[in-house]
Amino acid sequence: MSGTDHLDALRRDAGSAPVVLFASRLTDVRELERRLDELGIEYRVVTMSMADGAARDRFHVLEEWTGHHTLPQVFLDGRFIGGPSELLAHARLAGGVPQAGQWLGYAGLIPFLAALAGFMLSDAVRQEYFAQQFLAYGAVILSFVGAVHWGVALGGGRLRMMRMAISVLPALLAWAALLLPPAAGAWLLLAGFVGLRAWEASPPVAETLPGWYRNMRTRLTALVGLLVLLFALAAA
C-alpha cells in the first residue's frame, strides 16, 4: 500500500465523525470519551497498531500529514487540531452544554412564563392564585440552585465549609419570600438569584464549576431575573 493510499485512508477516517481520535492500543482516552458522551458529540476512536510494517507506514504518513509525532491525535470536523488538551480547550467542548442540562435548564422557564402570563391576564380574584404559583415556583428554583453547592461541597475540595454555609441561604431567602406580600417577595427572590450568581462568578468559586454550567447559569439567571422583575412591577 503506497503512501498516497495510506493518506487517502487516513483522510476518510478523519472525516468519518465530528470528532476522530487516532490512538494507540495503550492510549487512555476514557476521560475524553466521557466528556464527549456528556456533550452528546459523536466521535470515533481509530486504533493504530504498530504490529507490522504496513501499520507503521500508516502511522508515519499520519505524522507527515499532521506534523504531530505522538498519539493520540485529534481531528475535529475533518481538521487536525492537536491532542486531547487542544480538544478539551476547544469552544465546542469548553463552552458546550450537556444536552440534558440544556433542555432541562431552559424548560425550567416554562412555569415562570405560565404563572406570569396567568397573573397579568387574569382578574383580581385569579391573580392571587397565579401570584402564589409564581412565588412558590421561584422559591423552589432558588432553593435548587443553592443546593447545587451543597452537593459540590460533599465532594470535598477548597471552600467546602463556606460553600455548605452559603448553599442554605437561598432556601432561607425563598422561605422568607413566601411570607411577604407578592411584590416584596418577588424583589427578595430577585436579590437571591442575582446575589447567588454574583457569588458564583467570583474567581475562587467560578474555577470549581464547569464552564458550561457557569455560562448556562448566567443566561438563565438573566432570563429568570427579567421575569421576576416583570412580576414584581406588575404586582406592585
Query: What is the chain's pLDDT, residue by residue, as a tens digit (236 residues)?
Result: 566 888 999 999 999 998 999 998 888 888 888 878 777 788 999 998 877 788 888 999 999 999 998 899 999 989 999 988 888 777 666 555 566 777 888 999 999 999 999 999 999 889 999 999 999 999 999 999 999 998 888 876 667 888 888 999 999 999 999 999 999 999 999 999 999 999 999 988 887 887 778 888 999 999 999 999 999 999 99
CB atoms within 10 A of CB 229: 13
Residue with cell 421561584: 138
Contact 77, 53 (CB under 8 A): no
Q: Please give the Cα distance from 86 to 81 (Å, whole number).
A: 7
CATH 4.10.80.400 correct for 3-94 = no
**Torsion over CA of 206, 211, 213 and 217, rounded to 10 degrees?**
70
CB atoms within 10 A of CB 33: 14
Q: Which amino acid type is present at position 65?
A: W
pTM of the full predicted structure? Answer: 0.64
State the cell numbers at 37.
Answer: 458522551
CA distances from 209 to 65, 148, 179, 217 (A): 37, 10, 32, 11
State the cell numbers at 233.
Answer: 412591577
Please report, for the chain, the start and end positions of each structural domain, with discontinuous segments joined by +: 3-94, 99-235
